[in-house]
Amino acid sequence: CADSILVNKLTFAKKASNNDAGLWEQMAVCRFFNEYDYFDYTYSLASYYRKKCELMLDNLKFELPTSISFTEPEGGFFILATLPKGYDVSRFCKFAADRKLGISSITDYLTNEKTPTTSFRISFSDVSEDDIIKGVKILSNAYSAFTF
């Protein structure tokens, strides 16, 4: 059973974080939806990111060896890539960073960091199309150099 002092503090923190929207905030949101076509805007964002994702996937398929697998996401802003078994993904991510390529080991996102993995995330959301093409080439060259 939980300590009553801890429960009281957590209850207070929960109540303090319930930032219910006041009248002004509700009016602002209402005005936004009345003046802007939110659904068209959302659709345009989805199209924009889908195009970037497809560009990255096309380049990954062309540049990377088949020993690196990767997902074809149906949403989101990342592609999950996986090195062959036995590779140290954390070392590879640092190796790529030395070549000015930012990729993230999924170890950072696991609940148990000791879980063995060879997977990493690649983001396409906040980079230009030119940088996607350059980044995939850097990734391919980094992998080639890393494996030799």
**pLDDT per residue as tens digits for the range 58-110:** 999 999 999 999 999 999 999 999 999 999 999 999 999 999 999 999 987 88
Buried b (16+ CB within 10 A) or exposed e, 15-46: eeeeeeeeeeeeeeeeeeeeeeeeeeeeeeee
Question: The whole model's pTM is what?
Answer: 0.75
Tell me how crowded residue 76 is: count the other CB atoms within 10 A of its CB.
14
Element at 110 (helix H, strand E): none
Give strand ranges (E) for 1-148: 69-70, 78-82, 104-105, 119-123
> Is residue 7 classed exposed, middle or buried when 0-12, 13-18 and 19+ CB atoms within 10 A define those classes?
exposed
pLDDT in tens, 29-63: 889 889 888 889 899 999 999 999 999 999 999 99
**Radius of gyration (Cα) for the chain, nearest Å?**
22
